[in-house]
Structure 1
């Protein structure tokens, strides 16, 4: 008969299952069981206890339900986030140093001194040098300049050779380089060598510091005045005209108390600011880790602020740098 498609003869059910499933040739293979699952009527609804959203314990999420945490696919060179940014220190990463935001450029202001126009006090923190305390080998001084918010403003680094530092110690001539957050040298302070063998009242024996901002352009000097019982300095402009005076305490070697150097007008009647050497303990004093606080009016001329800032370092080298004990041989 035409139009009839021949079909294969029907086989029993057992034969079809034997063709689909081939027996496992292994002798210890488990036997095959024909499971016939017949769904029954739904059971009663059980309320979900508190603390188990969606019927699963806290911390477990069903693949059918949206997960509260995004899934990260690990690929070569990519690792999951383990720390919240800005809250924890990432391992093997340097701690970022907070710097004071850079102010806008101002007219009639030396470049780099714009920071001082926004400040009425700064902190000068000398680095602790354990090598000096253990071996008495003098190293270059380093200072961190910070504001009241503990933000970095400048970094001051001494640039003196090893022979000069260890031969002349506290009387050594030095060059201090002041850099900003970009590493640019915005100020240079130079102290020439002055012989102290002659009389202290001789002008050639008095200490002096020159401040340049920018480097190569002199904005003023800090000159020592002879006095019998206390430290006295004059702050001068670029023409060496006296502008202010710095008057120290009778004793700058007090143990357990701060040393205050007052910045006054030329007549000594009005107080302009102060340079305070903070007492931070005997260990800081032995390791030459000094801490100074400098205060001046907010509206003071920025060049005079820089001159008071420079006077702090001349005071530090003259009175608070530790010299090793001299051993005499018989």
Structure 2
């Protein structure tokens, strides 16, 4: 079920963002739920990912669809380039997230340099809000969030073993902190899907939490960071290339 009373139209607000995004102003949490693709379940064929963005009541507030190369999805899925088109419930694109194809894996110990993965977040299309980049580490993957001026605003660390099994049923948490790691400002969690779902599909559910008074630009950048974690960490895990 879609949310009611979502602002309509693509007219820009004083923030420079599309009107539909103002719905996020009073939210402190969203859930990003990947759609189960039956073709992928039955054949293992890597299809384009689709996601519903939900509020706490489980109502759809946005929809995200991947645009990517069939060849890259089939032969180098974790590294593939893509564009993620986020649309409102009026089917108008309000955010675009783009990542270029990288030949190298970009795993935690070589997450920087030429292997660095980067997602560019635009809203509206053509106006860059900032970028999400992978960073280097000896044992845990992490990403860094930069604003439109290329200022480092958030750091998100993963864990040593980002896996869930019948013996590891806890949600996987990725704390969002200030760049110096001194203050925690939010969290991204991959929710435990249950044994049956885990066996039948690789569709993920991510829960993003942030302060209700955070700026809309930052909320959208953290949404981009959630998708970076989804593709950078869990797509590798799905394809047998876990870190």
TM-score range, shorter chain: 0.7 to 0.9
2:87 matches 1:173: no
> Does the Cα contact within 8 Å between 2:32 and 2:207 map onto a contact in 1?
yes
**SS in structure 2 at match of 1:310:** helix
1:235 is aligned to 2:145: yes
Q: How does 1:1-80 map to 2 (within 5 A)?
A: none
Separation in 1, partners of 2:163, 2:198 = 10
List alignment gaps of at least 5 residues for structure 1.
Answer: 1-96, 326-330
Q: Which has the higher helix share?
A: 2
For 1:108-147, what aligned pairs fall within 5 Å after superposition?
108-111=15-18, 112-147=20-55
Larger radius of gyration: 1
Query: TM-score, normalised on structure 1?
Result: 0.65
Q: Secondary structure at the match of 1:223?
A: strand
1:257 matches 2:170: yes
Cα pair 2:112 2:135 within 8 Å, conserved: no
**Greater strand content:** 2
Cα gap change, 1:283 to 1:139, in 2 (>3 Å): farther
Q: Secondary structure at the match of 2:229?
A: helix
1:151 maps onto 2:56 in alignment: no
Over the aligned positions, Cα root-mean-square deviation in angstroms equals: 2.0
8 Å contact kept, 2:120–2:132: yes
1:293-312 matches, cutoff 5 A: 293-312=207-226
Q: Does 1:98 align with 2:98?
A: no
Moved over 4 A (4+): 103-106
Name the counterpart of 2:190: 277
Q: Name the TM-score, length of structure 2 as normaliser.
A: 0.88
Matched length: 229
Shift of 1:106: 4.2
Distance 1:100 1:212 in 2: 25
